[in-house]
A and B are shown apart, each in its own frame.
Chain A
Amino acid sequence: MKGSMQPRRFRIDKVYWETDDTFTHELIPIDEGRFFNFHPGQFNMIYIFGVGEIPISICGDPDINTRLYHTTRVVGDVTKRKQHLKVGDLLGIRGPFGNGWPVEKAKGRDVVVIAGGIGLAPLRPIIYHFLNHRDDYESITLIYGTRSPDKILYRKELEEWSSRLDMDVSVTVDAAGRTWKGPVGVVTKLIPRIISNPDNSTAFVCGPEIMMRFTAVELLKRNFAEQNIFLSMERNHKCGIGFCGHCQLGSYFLCKDGPVFSYDKLKSYLSLKEV
């Protein structure tokens, strides 16, 4: 129920370790209703009994509503406990929250997906969406940057997507050993390689704030229009329903106005520190 702080329980059905510190839970709803519908780019508040609640973006296929997927990096109290949950254990979910990526606006256009680090998780649903509805979009480009080859998320999916002839995938890392055959460097360096028509392109960007800022600047240099660059912002969340105040970014509440905004709505804030 909207306005409630009481979670719905989900059972962990599978645990996938993506890297040494990042794992994905596959969840099945056990309380009222067998389905969980969401829009790519939305997030849930995940509750771990006795520990607390954290916002985590939904990273599964939006056309599958019987299972819920969340990728989590171990960074704080809740995620440290979460990593020890086993198959069969329960956790709580409130959501979905937020507006999500405006996929409708990208119909009939070239789409460019740019992810930095764990920022790939909130973008995975949109990639599934584009591929599920392949004919609705023109070219699909994915640029993903992460720290090193062992930090690459969703390796299986990336290999599968890379092998497709109707999608362009580039993975770059900040540093790598000799076995790495891909590019080395920040994601922005790959942007000039995008083969697309900026007038008919929409970009979806998620990663650390600084990465998104520089990515947006690079896309603008390539003549992308401000309103065709979408960024997903991160702030603290305690409620997800607009009452706790923590997720404010200037005049926005990320939980109800965001977390996704076009660049023109964000640029005045992105140029300021500590907003």
Chain B
Amino acid sequence: MYQEVDMAKLNPESVVILQKDDLAKLLNILRSHSYQTIGPTLRENAIVYDEIQGMEDLPIGWTDSQEKGSYRLEKRNDDAYFGYNVGPYSWKTYLSPARVRVCNASRSENGFNVVQETGNAPNYAFIGVRPCDVKAIKILDKVFINDFCVDNVYGNRRKQSFIVAVNCTEAGNTCFCSSMGTGPKSEEGFDLCLTEIVTEQSHFFVTEIGSDKALEVLEALSPQTASESEIKEAERRIENAAQSMGRNLNTDRIHDLMFDNYRHPQWDDIAERCLSCANCTMVCPTCFCNTVEEKTDLEGDNAERWRIWDSCFTLEYSYIHGGSVRHSTKSRYRQWMTHKLASWHDQFDTSGCVGCGRCITWCPVGIDITEEVSAIRNSSTVPEETVDQPR
């Protein structure tokens, strides 16, 4: 028999059991706390994050089969709520939206007036955040909320967010979170973290509590304490995911490996294949670059400035008077990968890659970052200076 938890004895770090039906209740509680609940849904033949009203909106009983340049949905032989890995969307869609207005102005005599933005942001509860994506949010926190400056767009959304993480019990073919130290178990950065256990007789979630906010939400659910065997079973399933990672990336000295190999011939090889389409940056959960567009009405009386996602794969990205700094595809791919795996460490004291594998799956020509790193590592050379020396 399960024992009901004495809420007074619970604290962040406690482990409880939520039954399948408790999850629907949890969703309702979050919604009654005026959270907009966002979770995985089936759309466009993929699993994408969107608003969910109830657990029936989840892709129950579906899984995804991923390979480089390939993503397919398949039926599972159980009714798992979270029986798939990550799709083309990530949580940055909500925390740093693809389009957001950052300035609004109207014409006046001799010039213009600036309309003050309210800074209002929606309250999001994210349901089903994978460990790699929990880490990706932590990385974006460093990008957008730091001593130098706090981004209003991200900062306000993030401050109000509630994160329900879900540990992975199965790894996808393009997954390599174990290599990046970001999964398949989430250690921190969540309010609640679930490990889903589906057997023929039962369907429940071993649930870790990560914040006081979560305690408050759980109060209405009267959860049961987790037994040692249940916790063990969750760990066993997570270990199973760790053992079945589809990919591996050797991160040993990766910072120096990237910087020492700026002139490596592999960059030319990649450039032969890369379409410079920017898909990898769009699906990447940590790629944060943006640009600002000016939008005016037909009369030209009102102008709005919209921040939109941008990519280092476009020519415009590095444009300065006289031309783009990175005009070749080679230099743009190199910028992306070097930033992700090396300069990110200098800038934010963390890798920019969480090993989610999205860039591999969604690359239309199947370029695989793990293979490219191996190719460079296996023939790492620091060629002679080929710089034009002043005459």
Partner-B contacts on A (CB < 8 A): 2-7, 9, 11, 49-53, 73, 75-76, 88-92, 188, 208, 213-214, 217-218, 234-236, 238-239, 241-246, 248, 250-251, 253, 256, 268, 271-275
| Cβ–Cβ < 8 Å partners of B347 in chain A | 251, 253
* Known A5-B292, A243-B143, A251-B347; contact A236-B116, beta-carbon cutoff 8 A: no
**In contact, B390 and A241 (Cβ under 8 angstroms):** no
Q: How long is the Cα–Cα vector from A73 to B327 in the complex, in angstroms?
A: 23
Q: How long is the Cα–Cα vector from A250 to B334 in the complex, in angstroms?
A: 11
**In contact, B300 and A274 (Cβ under 8 angstroms):** no
Q: How long is the Cα–Cα vector from A198 to B331 in the complex, in angstroms?
A: 37
Q: How long is the Cα–Cα vector from A275 to B390 in the complex, in angstroms?
A: 19
CB distance from B102 to the nearest CB of A (A): 4
* Known A75-B321, A235-B318; contact A274-B328, beta-carbon cutoff 8 A: yes
Partner-A contacts on B (CB < 8 A): 102-103, 105, 107-108, 110-112, 114, 116-117, 143-144, 146, 148-152, 155, 259, 262-263, 288-292, 294, 296, 300, 303, 305, 307, 310, 312, 317-322, 325-328, 330-331, 335, 339, 342-343, 346-347, 385, 387, 390
CB distance from A49 to the nearest CB of B (A): 4
Taking a contact as CB atoms closer than 8 A, the residue among B117, B155, B331 that contacts A273 in the complex is B331
**In contact, B303 and A50 (Cβ under 8 angstroms):** yes
| Cβ–Cβ < 8 Å partners of A271 in chain B | 385, 387
| Cβ–Cβ < 8 Å partners of B289 in chain A | 244-246
Sampled A-B contacts (16; CB under 8 Å): A3-B150, A49-B112, A50-B112, A90-B108, A218-B390, A235-B325, A236-B325, A238-B290, A239-B290, A248-B343, A251-B343, A251-B347, A256-B149, A271-B385, A274-B328, A274-B330
Taking a contact as CB atoms closer than 8 A, the residue among A91, A214, A238, A268 that contacts B292 in the complex is A238
**In contact, B262 and A272 (Cβ under 8 angstroms):** yes
| Cβ–Cβ < 8 Å partners of B291 in chain A | 238, 244, 246
| Cβ–Cβ < 8 Å partners of A76 in chain B | 321
Which residue of B is nearest A31, CB measured?
B114
Taking a contact as CB atoms closer than 8 A, the residue among B296, B327, B339 that contacts A274 in the complex is B327
Taking a contact as CB atoms closer than 8 A, the residue among A6, A243, A253, A273 that contacts B116 in the complex is A6
Q: How long is the Cα–Cα vector from A253 to B339 in the complex, in angstroms?
A: 12
**In contact, A3 and B152 (Cβ under 8 angstroms):** yes
**In contact, A246 and B310 (Cβ under 8 angstroms):** yes
**In contact, A274 and B326 (Cβ under 8 angstroms):** yes
Q: How long is the Cα–Cα vector from A49 to B320 in the complex, in angstroms?
A: 21
Q: How long is the Cα–Cα vector from A275 to B387 in the complex, in angstroms?
A: 13
| Cβ–Cβ < 8 Å partners of B111 in chain A | 9, 11, 49, 89-91
Q: How long is the Cα–Cα vector from A243 to B152 in the complex, in angstroms?
A: 11
Q: How long is the Cα–Cα vector from A234 to B291 in the complex, in angstroms?
A: 17
Q: How long is the Cα–Cα vector from A273 to B111 in the complex, in angstroms?
A: 42
Which residue of B is nearest A54, CB measured?
B321
Taking a contact as CB atoms closer than 8 A, the residue among B108, B292, B321, B346 that contacts A53 in the complex is B292
* Known A238-B290, A272-B262, A273-B331; contact A2-B103, beta-carbon cutoff 8 A: no
**In contact, A246 and B114 (Cβ under 8 angstroms):** no
| Cβ–Cβ < 8 Å partners of A268 in chain B | 259
Taking a contact as CB atoms closer than 8 A, the residue among A7, A188, A235, A238 that contacts B320 in the complex is A235
Q: How long is the Cα–Cα vector from A3 to B145 in the complex, in angstroms?
A: 10
